[in-house]
Amino acid sequence: IYDEKTENVSENKLIENFNSCSNGKKQSPVNIVTSELKTNSMLPKIETNYQLSPLIIKNNQHTIKAKFDNINSITLGKVKYSLLQFHLHTPSEHKLDGKNSDLELHLVHQNDSGEYAVLAILMRSGKENLALKQFFENLPNEDHAIVNTNLKINLNDILPSNLSYYSYFGSLTTFPCDEKVNWIILKNVVEVSEEQIQKFKTIFPNNARDTHPLNDRVVETN
Ligand code: BO1
Ligand code: ZN
């Protein structure tokens, strides 16, 4: 039912797949309770090594994602994570004090040991996001469709200037929900226009997984 190569799941098996996710104790997303954060001044700074890069946009039935060649990366402490892709969820998957934002952008990175670092950017309705303008204008609305344009994105243009973050250890939010994700949720919310949000919502009205209990985890902040 799940094709590793295309990352596609046959439609009638989608629900089943969400249910067949790990029922482990470190699942994502979670509700971040700001009064229960643990300040950790030792958390590494995010160093980005992003450059103007071509991307391929794809609709994989879970979301719309932009795939990159292996030329962008971030460094956390001494560990380098390469960017594989970014994609969107609406509403946001992570909640802040019980509240969703309109969109959540996931920049999916992986290190040499196969662990993920997903940099999550919460987005809310406001002024048009020019860095993502071409992305929103080329969303493939049909299953499997690939839009092969000559567009290029510099992810530095998407990031807020202040990269302070919340972080905790959790899972992928879709099948196979592996518990090997270093979640980094930026505190600064980024604006996108209502029109951009609606463009995504016409294709995916709701592709956010429910929040899961923190159990014995603690969300840290720098
Ligand atoms: S998410 O950021 O937690 N929503 C998320 C969910 C699922 C994946 C990635 C991020 N899936 C994985 C696939 C891998 C693939 C990788 C990068 O995405 O399981 O096979 O290499 O596209
Ligand atoms: Zn995601």
pLDDT tens track for 6-48: 555 444 444 445 556 877 999 999 999 999 999 999 999 999 9
CB of 172 closer than 6 angstroms to any ligand 1 atom: yes
Please write the tens of the pLDDT for every residue from 204-219: 999 999 999 999 999 9
Q: How far apart are CA 78 and CA 99, in angstroms?
A: 33
Q: How far is ligand 1, taken at its centre, from the CA of residue 35, in Å?
A: 30
What 3-state DSSP class applies to 160?
coil
85 Cβ below 6 A of ligand 1: yes
Handedness of CA 77, 74, 93, 185 (dihedral sign): positive
- Mean pLDDT value of segment 131-158: 89
Average pLDDT over residues 115-133: 97
**CA-closest candidate to residue 173, choices 217, 132, 211, 147:** 211
Token code pair at residue 50 = 């992003």
Alpha carbon distance 95, 33 (integer Å) = 8
Q: How far is the CA of 41 from the centre of ligand 2 (A)?
A: 27
Largest CA distance in the chain: 47
Q: What is the pLDDT of residue 149?
A: 73
Distances (CA, A) of 199 to 73, 87, 140, 192, 220: 28, 14, 10, 11, 34
Full-model pTM = 0.92
